[in-house]
Amino acid sequence: MKNYLTQFKPFLIFICTFFAAYIGLTLLYKFYLNSFGPNDVDGITVTVGKNVEQLMQMFNCDIKVHKNRVDSWLEVWYNGKYYVRIVEGCNAVSVIVLFVSFVLAFSGKFKTTLSFILSGVLLIYILNVVRIALLIVLLFNFPEYKHFLHGTLFPLIIYGLVFLLWIFWVNKFSKYAK
């Protein structure tokens, strides 16, 4: 048994670190969400909504994003009519938690790891805001592709970016890179 533990030590350390980080960050986020009332929208989702609105207004889009009066989501009014909603799951925090957990599990030098995590989180956040803005425009113009756009293409884009960041991290900066 001791021989197996020695042989698989790097894998076991990776698994334990990944799950510890993932569970810890998920619980931290859950505590954050629990600080809001049942019909409130959390601050991260509100910020994402504001950033989507700002981005689209830069391109002279007729868009308004505001909180629904009774439920916990943001209404997106596009070209004068209520079109879609932004819910807590749209803020990419779960994707960011997954990204950070993986990078921590394959950590390298402290400064490099921290810099990569911060850069990656920022990149994921920006891509998510762009993703939501594009999704709004595409759903408006191609409503018949709603399931494909929302359920397949755009998740593929954001998870694809995370996967590419992981590959880059493991091959260039992690302690296993050499």
Contact criterion met (CB below 8 Å) for 56 and 124: no
**Per-residue CA distances from 79 to 47, 61, 64 (Å):** 21, 8, 9
Average pLDDT, the chain: 93
Share of the chain above pLDDT 90, in %: 83
pLDDT per position as a tens digit, 8-61:
888 888 999 999 999 999 999 999 999 999 899 999 999 999 999 999 999 999
Give the pLDDT of residue 83.
84
- What are the residue boundaries of the structural domains of the chain, listed by start? 2-38+91-172
Cα end-to-end span (Å), the chain: 28
Q: Helices (H) and strands (E) in the chain — how many of each?
A: 7, 3
Give the pLDDT of residue 178.
61
| Residue matched to tokens 């909603």 | 85
Which tokens is 144 given? Answer: 């018949």
